[in-house]
Amino acid sequence: MTAGGIALAELAARLGAEPAAGSTVITRLARLDEAGPEALSFLPSAHYRPLLGASRAGGVLVTASCAAECVPGTALVVKDPVLACALAAHWLPVTAPGHCAAAFCDGGHRPSRIAGDAEVHRSAVVGCGVTIGSGSRIEPGAVVGPDVRIGDYCRIGPHAVLGAGVKLGNRVAVGAGATIGKEGFTLVRHGRQWLRIPSFAAACLDDDVELGAQCTVDRGVMEATRLRRGVKLDNQVHVGHGADVGADTVIAAGTRIGGEARIGAACLIGGGVVIREGLAIADAVVITGGSHVIRPLREPGRSYSSGWPARPSRSWWRVVSRLGKLGEKS
């Protein structure tokens, strides 16, 4: 251990990686395309393999099959680069959106990049490096994290939270108590423990997006979570890490969208729908309330439903009993 960082060779030993040469000191974790010589990065999947040769990272966690594609002297060969990254996060700070030395400005003074006609309530908290556009309004108790960009004529509702590095377009409305840019629920198993995989990317809302009260939009692990132009979310919708919701899609209350799902444009999604992680849904699809989507929906313009309509309890339990008996016979 050295002042302000960890020697690459020591880090390799801690992670059980093949020893690294040289005297490089590592001070942070970062994505492959953002890492500098002082940073440790990792290859999360084959999708990012083309970035290896151009990465400036001082060390890269990779499997043996990819080591030759790294810049000489930077490869740290491990069995599972994602798990190794989660372990390294215990010892190194993560360079994620909004990384800065001081999260919030001292003294409550307005940063210089707030437009003169924007309104920021005196009880709101505004971070360093924030940009707030013309005519925008930050309401009581809202928290705007460092390096957030808010466009023109936006409204950030009471007690809403915008995490570091969030980007909002113009005319975006964020409801009371909503949270944008929280760390994703991304975990990897290590023995009997669960370790968190760092979220390196941001959350971005394009022009004319509206979020109801208490919605949650996680930030992405490697690629930004994005709500495209004109998306409307009802109350208490949850959009998982790295998901992409297409333009003019409307989502009713209580729906949950898994991480890295791809929702098409102009979809109508009812209340209480569950969309599994990583699924793709075509444009103009209708999903009725209470449905549970576990497979891709690839045909544009189709309507999909699942679940059982409510019926008298005695009748419902008779149906369940019959289904159970059929399952026992099969």
Residues designated catalytic? 241
* Cβ atoms of residues 152 and 171 within 8 Å: yes
**Among 321, 296, 293, 318, CA closest to 305:** 293
Residue 16: left (phi > 0), alpha (psi -120 to 50), or beta? left
* Cβ atoms of residues 177 and 158 within 8 Å: yes
Distance CA 232, CA 247 (A): 9
**AA identity, residue 10:** E
Alpha helices in the chain (DSSP H): 8-15, 81-88, 313-329
Distance CA 282, CA 6 (A): 47
Which backbone phi and psi does 315 adopt, to 5 degrees? -65, -40
* Cβ atoms of residues 193 and 211 within 8 Å: no
| Residues facing 94 on adjacent strands | 29
